[in-house]
Amino acid sequence: MQYRAVVQDIMPGSIAEELGIEPGDIICRINGRRIADFLDYQFLASAPEIVLEVQKTSGEMIEFEIENEELEDLGICFSGMLFDPAKSCANRCIFCFIDQLPPNLRDSLYFKDDDSRLSFLYGNYVTMTNMTAKDVDRLIEYRVSPVNISVHTTDMELRKKMLNNRHADRLMSYMQKLYDGDIQMNMQIVLCKGINDQEVLTKSLLDLSAFHPMAVSVSVVPVGLTRYRDGLYPLESFTKQEAKQVVEQIEAMQKQFLERFGSRFAYASDEFYLMAELPMPPAEAYEDFPQIENGVGMEASLEAEFCDALQEEYSLTYTGKTMVATGTLAYPFITRLVDMAKDKYPALDATVVAVENQLFGGDVTVAGLIGGKELIETLSGRRFDRLLITSSMLKADEPVFLDDTTVSDVETALGVTLVATQNDGYEFLQSLLGCKEHFNDGF
């Protein structure tokens, strides 16, 4: 396979600049080894003696011998982290969310990645089914830690059925290798009613706890079901009472884990608490928030930061009417935060609106999956000047919603200014008050 590690930029004053390496050049080998991704580059270039093989834009091959006793960064920037194609998912999971996507979204949303490199570089969760023992050894050699793993169950026969992959039973042996290699792991269980819940969940959590302390945490999240499930495995949503039972089961096990090794280890996602209409645990119950990006402790963190921010002496500088749009699941929580802000700043004119998800339908109620067209349809005809949304509704590097509606489209259709805020309590309060000009930075 031909890898193309194309140089995008060179840092001024760096070793690479001194060598005359330029944008467009290709880094072919380091110390005789081809590099398939940034992990290869980072590991191989961190050596006191380096032989760097570079193909110039002219096609000429040049070999550089570098003495780098201080392990100085070479100063080479690439356009992406992977130089070969990302590994696609080899599974046909019964709960796969991508299989349930509506038609006519942008092509990239339908790609199923399952690449362990993306686990480390971007926090993606991987099943490890398309990995070999050699791939696992590479993670250990490169000290790739933590690795985020989609487990779902430790019953390997059930896992093969859930993932529809005969290689799904390699997981525990691979996790043992990572444990022996001192590689940390965060794990995820997508909980499907009647399949991997109840006694199966208890066994899975106990089995995974055997890998502690290298197994840092495991999150339990409910399966997401859209209305686009024709022909797919029949799955049902958790009811309010069933969600309550899941929370109680996990909290009971947290007590056991806390006594055994001083960590709660297993966490129910925020969605389970919201579905069960149970109060969210305090921020300290999530310890170091090991899985906040997976929706575990996100609201507890936001509320703690928001309450701290309310102790600061900010000024209300925005006097127009603000609309805060969120999903139906988080609506009561966001409303409570906004009401707290109004108590301290009585002149704050802000209203929270729950946007029903028409794009995905089903039981999809989270804010991050709301499309721009849904915002327009829900808010058309209302009088307000500014719209606050969570930045998770937008593409990471562009002001574009999942349905390809742009921020500009929404602003034009509604005649308002759109403000996207991160999941940060300070930023949310400052956005409400209008006292920080950060709203569309990076777009």
Q: Higher-confidence residue: 44 or 185? A: 185
pLDDT of residue 79: 76
Q: So what's the pLDDT on residue 236?
A: 94
Domain ranges of the chain: 5-78, 98-294, 303-433
* Coil, strand or helix at 207: helix
Structure token digits, residue 24: 């467009």
The confidence score (pLDDT) of residue 442 equals 37
**Which pLDDT belongs to residue 405?**
92
Check pLDDT > 90 for residue 258.
Answer: yes
- Per-residue pLDDT band for 71 (boundaries 50, 70, 90) equals confident
What was the pLDDT predicted at 98?
A: 82
- Say if CB 109 and CB 98 are below 8 A apart: yes
For residues 69-103, one letter each, b for 16 or more C-beta atoms within 10 angstroms of the residue's C-beta and e for the rest, the string is eeeeebbbebeebbbbebbebbbebbbbbebbbbe
Work out the pLDDT band at 245, boundaries 50, 70, 90: very high
Among all chains, which residue has been given the structure tokens 């997401």? 224
Phi-psi region at 6: left, alpha or beta (left = phi > 0; alpha = psi -120 to 50): beta
Q: What is the mean pLDDT of the chain?
A: 89
pLDDT of residue 135: 86
Structure confidence at residue 131 as a pLDDT band (50, 70, 90): confident
List the single range of 42-56, 68-82, 104-118 with lowest mean pLDDT: 104-118
pLDDT tens digit string along 264-321? 999 999 999 999 999 999 999 999 999 988 889 999 999 999 999 999 999 999 999 9
C-alpha–C-alpha distance, residues 253 and 250, integer Å? 5
Residue found by looking up tokens 């089914």 in the block = 129
Tokens 């297993």 sit at which residue?
Answer: 266
Mean pLDDT of 14-18: 90
Q: Is 50 exceeded by the pLDDT of residue 443?
A: no
Q: Which CATH architecture has domain 98-294?
A: Alpha-Beta Horseshoe (3.80)
> In the chain, pLDDT over 90 holds for what percent of residues?
63
Mean pLDDT computed over 420-440: 83
- The predicted-structure confidence for 323-348, as pLDDT tens digits, reads as follows 999 999 999 999 999 999 999 999 99
Indicate the range of 9-23, 90-104, 246-260 predicted with least confidence: 90-104
Closest CA to 219 of 243, 250, 262, 195: 250
| pLDDT confidence bin for 84, thresholds 50/70/90 | low
pLDDT at 130: 82
CA-atom Rg of the chain in angstroms:
24
Q: Packing angle between helix 407-414 and helix 372-379, nearest 10 degrees?
A: 10
Q: Residue 192, exposed/middle/buried by CB under 10 A (0-12, 13-18, 19+)?
A: buried
Predicted pLDDT at 114: 54
The reply to whether CATH 3.40.50.300 applies to domain 5-78 is no
Structure tokens at 330: 């988080």
Question: pLDDT tens digits, residue range 362-417?
Answer: 788 888 889 999 999 999 999 999 999 999 999 877 899 988 899 999 999 999 99
pLDDT in tens, 291-300: 988 889 999 9
Determine which helix (DSSP H) or strand (DSSP E) holds 119, and give its type and residue range: helix 116-122
98-294 matches 303-433 in fold? no
- Percent of the chain topping pLDDT 70: 92
Which position has the higher pLDDT, 71 or 119?
71
Domain 303-433 part of CATH 3.30.70:
no
Average pLDDT over every residue of 14-35:
89
